[in-house]
Amino acid sequence: MIGVMGAGAFGTALAISLAGNGPVTLWARDKSHVAEMRATRDNARRLPGATLPVSLRVTAELGDLQHATTVLLAVPMQKLRTILAEHGAALAGKTLVACCKGVELDTQQGPVQVISEMVPEAMPAILTGPGFAHDIARGLPTAMTLACADALAGSALQDTLSTANLRLYRTTDTVGAELGGALKNVIAIACGAVMGAGLGESARAALMTRGYAEMQRMAQALGARPETLSGLSGFGDLALTCTSEQSRNTRLGHSIGRGEDFDPTVTVEGAATAHAVQIRARSMQIDMPITDVVCGLTKGQLRVEQAMDRLLSRPLKEEKC
């Protein structure tokens, strides 16, 4: 049996897709939310219109995951450590697959690192790449990256988590997979701000390209393989996230560009990640100008016009990573 912790849109979509292979248990902390999903067979709060199949069990009891050998952690990055601290004993010995994208603000660690630290008896992995929840839940074709440092465990996990519509490519480069998924959210905020401010698609293309160069610089400095960033978890996710308003990071950027308030109840991983990455980059003396302006934008310290002026006034240079 497979378990999924977190009944947000992405966790629910993965549970629906995986339930096509066999029994899946979806855990949510909120008992009233669980009662609603059981009664309606729909997650109207997070993924309306996606029917929960009969092979998908919804629960608020963590004990119902005791027989699951693989558990997907579809929880916000900034809450991952707290959830593992609370439930780590029950998850020991299992394969834990992070399904969140980000860098922890306090420690500058990625999700695989947090799992390894908090539940050392578990086998950590990460599922990341270009996949929107609504597409996965509707059975639309999606390809993503599955990263596990243990090659044999990763191969077995690839077979377990692949479905009729979800094609997984595996890698042992967990660092590259973590950073690709995290850093593209930062660039997506910048791209959304540009579009929200009406600065045009040419400006967005420039930010995507130079943002990809930032992603490569940071990832390679931390030991990631270049080909990982060129794959689904890096370039693929960047292309999807920066060009679609289905992305919460892009929508936040749009709101910033338009000078509008953004719903504070919506989790936007890229905002906290930008600040965590800025701290890490400065300590390692890595040049991350787009990340710097995203920090300024999300803190309200810069307007979009000021951010663009700062980027455009940088010294002219040869195009290199």
Tokens of 126: 């990460």
Asked if residues 147 and 177 have their Cβ atoms less than 8 Å apart, the reply is yes
Buried b (16+ CB within 10 A) or exposed e, 281-309: beeeebebebbbbbbbbbeeebbbeebbe
Q: What is the dotted CATH code of the domain comprising 2-172?
A: 3.40.50.720
Q: Which helix (H) or strand (E) holds 79?
A: helix 77-91
Tokens of 167: 């094609």
Fold annotation for 176-312: N-(1-d-carboxylethyl)-l-norvaline Dehydrogenase; domain 2 (1.10.1040)
In order of 176, 215, 217, 219, the CA distances from 228 in angstroms are 6, 11, 13, 9
- Do the domains 2-172 and 176-312 sit in the same CATH topology, yes or no? no
Neighbours of 139 (CB within 10 A): 15
Among the listed residues 184, 299, 317, 320, the single catalytic one is: 184
Q: CA-to-CA distance for 135 and 120, rounded, in angstroms? A: 34
Asked if residues 197 and 304 have their Cβ atoms less than 8 Å apart, the reply is yes
CB within 8 A of 114, min separation 6: which ones?
A: 80, 81, 84, 98, 104, 107
Does 79 qualify as catalytic in the annotation?
no
Q: CA-to-CA distance for 64 and 249, rounded, in angstroms? A: 33
Q: CA-to-CA distance for 167 and 101, rounded, in angstroms? A: 19
pLDDT in tens, the chain (321 residues): 999 999 999 999 999 999 999 999 999 999 999 999 999 999 999 999 999 999 999 999 999 999 999 999 999 999 999 999 999 999 999 999 999 999 999 999 999 999 999 999 999 999 999 999 999 999 999 999 999 999 999 999 999 999 999 999 999 999 999 999 999 999 999 999 999 999 999 999 999 999 999 999 999 999 999 999 999 999 999 999 999 999 999 999 999 999 999 998 898 999 999 999 999 999 999 999 999 999 999 999 999 999 999 998 999 888 876
The domain limits of the chain are 2-172, 176-312
Q: State the maximum Cα–Cα separation within the chain, in Å, rounded to a whole number.
A: 61
